Structure 1
Amino acid sequence: MSKQTDDFFKNVISHAKEYGFVFPSSEIYDGLSAVYDYGQLGSELKNNLKTYWWKAMVQLHENIVGIDAAIFMHPTTWKASGHVDGFNDPMIDNKDSKKRYRADQLIEDKIARYEADGKVEEAQQLQADLDAALNADDLSKLKALIEAHDIVCPISGTKNWTDVRQFNLMFSTQMGASAEDAETVYLRPETAQGIFVNFLNVQKSGRMKVPFGIAQIGKAFRNEVIARQFIMRMREFEQMELQFFVRPGTELDWYNQWKETRLKWHLAVGGDPAKYRFHDHVKLAHYANAAVDIEYDFPFGFKEVEGIHSRTDFDLSQHQKYSGKKIQYFDPEINQNYVPYVIETSIGLDRLFLTVLCNSFEEQDLSTADKQDSRSVLRFHPTLAPVKAAILPLTKKDGLPDKAREILNRLKIDHNVQYDEKDSIGKRYRRQDAIGTPFCITVDYQSLEDDTVTLRHRDSMEQERVAAADLEKIVADLVGWKNLLGGL
Structure 2
Amino acid sequence: MDQAPATSLQDIVGHAKEYGFVFPSSEIYDGLQAVYDYGQNGVELKNNLKTAWWKAMTQLHDNIVGIDAAIFMHPLTWKASGHIDGFSDPMIDNKDSKKRYRADQLLEAKAEELAAAGEPEKAQALLAEMGRLLSAEDLTGVRELIIAQDIKCAVSGTTNWTEVRQFNLMFSTQVGSVAEDSSTIYLRPETAQGIFVNFLNVQKSGRMKVPFGIAQIGKAFRNEIVARQFTFRMREFEQMEMQFFVRPGTEMTWYNAWKEARMKFHVALGLPADSLQFHDHDKLAHYANAAVDIEYKFPFGFREMEGIHSRTDFDLRNHQDLSKKKQQYFDAELNEDGKPYGNYIPYVVETSVGADRMFLAVFCNAYTVESVGEGDSAKQRTYLKLHPALAPFKAAVLPLVKKDGLAEKAQEVAASLKSTFRTTYDDGAAIGKRYTRQDLIGTPYCIVVDYQTMEDETVTIRHRDTMEQERVAIADLKAKIGYEVAMERILEAI
Shorter chain as normaliser: what TM range?
Answer: over 0.9
| SS of 1:352 mapped into structure 2 | helix
For 1:135-171, what per-residue CA distance to the aligned partner results, in whole angstroms no more than 9, with x for missing partners? Answer: 3333233223322332222333332211211110000
Answer whether contact 1:107 1:130 (CA < 8 A) is retained: yes
- How far did 1:106 drift? 1.6
Q: CA, structure 1 residues 365+6, in 2 after alignment: closer, same or farther (shift >3 Å)?
A: closer
User: Residue in 1 aligned with 2:357?
Assistant: 351
User: C-alpha distance in 2, partners of 1:136/1:346?
Assistant: 27
- How far did 1:245 drift? 0.3
User: C-alpha distance in 2, partners of 1:461/1:79?
Assistant: 57
- Do residues 401 (structure 1) and 410 (structure 2) align? no
- Do residues 459 (structure 1) and 469 (structure 2) align? no
User: Residue in 2 aligned with 1:340?
Assistant: 346
| SS of 2:377 mapped into structure 1 | coil
For 1:239-279, what per-residue CA distance to the aligned partner results, in whole angstroms no more than 9, with x for missing partners? Answer: 00000000011011101111000011111112221111111
Answer whether contact 2:284 2:291 (CA < 8 A) is retained: yes
Percentage identity across paired residues of the two chains: 66
For 1:354-395, what per-residue CA distance to the aligned partner results, in whole angstroms no more than 9, with x for missing partners? Answer: 101111111112143352422211111111111111111111
Q: Describe how 1:240-319 pairs up with structure 2 within 5 A.
A: 240-319=240-319
Q: Runs of 5+ in structure 1 lacking a partner?
A: none
Q: CA, structure 1 residues 5+245, in 2 after alignment: closer, same or farther (shift >3 Å)?
A: farther
- The two structures have a TM-score, normalised by structure 2, of 0.96
- How far did 1:309 drift? 0.6
User: C-alpha distance in 2, partners of 1:379/1:353?
Assistant: 14
Q: CA, structure 1 residues 470+149, in 2 after alignment: closer, same or farther (shift >3 Å)?
A: same
User: C-alpha distance in 2, partners of 1:8/1:383?
Assistant: 26
For 1:218-248, what per-residue CA distance to the aligned partner results, in whole angstroms no more than 9, with x for missing partners? Answer: 0000001213111111110000000000001
| SS of 2:350 mapped into structure 1 | strand
2:485 pairs, out of 461, 473, 479, with 479
User: C-alpha distance in 1, partners of 2:222/2:182?
Assistant: 22
User: Residue in 2 aligned with 1:445?
Assistant: 451
User: Residue in 1 aligned with 2:338?
Assistant: none
Report the number of matched residues: 485
Answer whether contact 2:7 2:299 (CA < 8 A) is retained: no
User: Residue in 2 aligned with 1:190?
Assistant: 190
Answer whether contact 1:239 1:346 (CA < 8 A) is retained: yes
User: Residue in 1 aligned with 2:391?
Assistant: 385
Q: Runs of 5+ in structure 2 lacking a partner?
A: 335-340
| SS of 1:40 mapped into structure 2 | coil
2:427 pairs, out of 421, 432, 437, with 421
User: Residue in 2 aligned with 1:35?
Assistant: 35
Answer whether contact 2:271 2:365 (CA < 8 A) is retained: yes
- Do residues 178 (structure 1) and 190 (structure 2) align? no
For 1:20-56, what per-residue CA distance to the aligned partner results, in whole angstroms no more than 9, with x for missing partners? Answer: 0000000000000110000000000000000000000
- How far did 1:6 drift? 8.7
Deviates more, 1:195-204 or 1:365-374: 365-374
Q: CA, structure 1 residues 475+7, in 2 after alignment: closer, same or farther (shift >3 Å)?
A: closer
- How far did 1:330 drift? 0.4
For 1:425-476, what per-residue CA distance to the aligned partner results, in whole angstroms no more than 9, with x for missing partners? Answer: 1111111111111111111111111111111111111111111110010111
| SS of 2:155 mapped into structure 1 | coil
Answer whether contact 1:291 1:309 (CA < 8 A) is retained: yes
User: C-alpha distance in 1, partners of 2:260/2:164?
Assistant: 37
- The two structures have a TM-score, normalised by structure 1, of 0.97
- For 2:482, the aligned partner's letter is A
- How far did 1:99 drift? 1.7
- How far did 1:113 drift? 2.8
User: Residue in 1 aligned with 2:372?
Assistant: 366
User: Residue in 2 aligned with 1:232?
Assistant: 232
User: C-alpha distance in 2, partners of 1:68/1:248?
Assistant: 27
Deviates more, 1:282-291 or 1:44-53: 282-291
User: C-alpha distance in 1, partners of 2:36/2:26?
Assistant: 8
User: Residue in 2 aligned with 1:99?
Assistant: 99
